[in-house]
Amino acid sequence: MMASGKRILIVEDEHDLVGAIANRLEYEGFDVVCAGDGSEGLDLFSNSGADLIILDMMMPVMDGFEFIRRLKGGRTGEDVPPIIVMTAYGTKFSPAEFGVLEGCEMLDKPFEANQLLDLIKKVLK
């Protein structure tokens, strides 16, 4: 176990996936907060912050692109935590969407838990 105490915000609408990720990350010692859509995720981030955000791109209410736009709006680079983007759509994004994703790490669904953990460790170094 890593026992980092770092806070990770998971923004994902698939409850089974959220539960699986959250359980594994808590086992590894992370403080995990979960949101079912981008709007709820922004509220949670505003209230409690996060050291890292794991973000789905396709969600109801507010998708991942809008979440990133609003998160980055009015914040300097140091105030925006690293973001790991989970997507089942690979690289099928428009140039404008790629612009929004600048600086984000990409993780294709489906993925193994260890792939996610390795990426989290790399990002939080």
CATH number of residue 41's parent domain: 3.40.50.2300
10 Å CB burial of residue 15 (0-12, 13-18, 19+) is: exposed
> How many whole angstroms from its chain centre is CA 45?
11
Question: Which pLDDT value is given to residue 4?
Answer: 65
Over the chain, what is the mean pLDDT? 90
**What pTM, to 2 d.p., does this model score?**
0.92
Question: Cα separation of 71 and 92, whole Å?
Answer: 23
Q: How many CB atoms lie within 10 A of CB 118?
A: 11
Query: pLDDT tens-digit profile of 55-88?
Result: 999 998 999 999 999 999 877 777 899 999 998 8
- Give how many domains the chain has, as a whole number: 1
Residue type, 27: Y
Q: Is the residue at 102 inside a domain?
A: yes
* Structural domain boundaries enclosing 41: 7-120
- In this prediction, residue 91 has a pLDDT band, given cuts at 50, 70 and 90, of low
Residue 113 has pLDDT above 60, yes or no: yes
